[in-house]
């Protein structure tokens, strides 16, 4: 929520607005080149982790990137 609020303020100063579509967590294991997306945000609900995973795969093509709805 802190990051979202800070970004929303920065965007508002530029005349833009944003909406949080949900949240979650990341487990990043750089030594194994793995990222796992999971969980949800108490305040914002669960994000669509499949979308997040696809965006991460585009940025980190040499990583194994997975997701699950389980966990907090």
pTM, whole model, 2 decimals? 0.80
For 3-52, the pLDDT digits (tens) are: 899 999 999 999 999 999 999 999 999 999 999 999 999 999 999 999 99
Q: What is the DSSP letter of 69?
A: S
For 50-71, the pLDDT digits (tens) are: 999 999 999 999 999 999 988 7
Q: What's the chain's length in residues? A: 72
Strand, coil or helix: 42: coil
**CA distances for 65 relative to 13, 21, 37, 41, 61, angstroms:** 35, 21, 8, 20, 9
Q: Residue 25 in contact with residue 54, Cβ under 8 Å?
A: no
Q: Could you tell me if residue 39 is left (phi over 0), alpha (psi between -120 and 50 degrees) or otherwise beta?
A: left
CATH, domain range 21-68: 3.50.20.20
Task: Map out the domains of the chain as residue ranges.
Answer: 21-68
């Amino acid at each position: 929520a802190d990051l979202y609020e800070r970004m929303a303020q920065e965007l508002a100063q530029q005349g833009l607005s944003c909406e949080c579509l949900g949240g979650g967590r990341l487990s990043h294991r750089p030594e194994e080149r793995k990222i796992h997306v999971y969980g949800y945000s108490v305040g914002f609900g669960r994000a669509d982790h499949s979308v997040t995973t696809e965006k991460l795969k585009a940025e980190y093509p040499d990583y194994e990137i997975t997701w699950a709805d389980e966990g907090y």
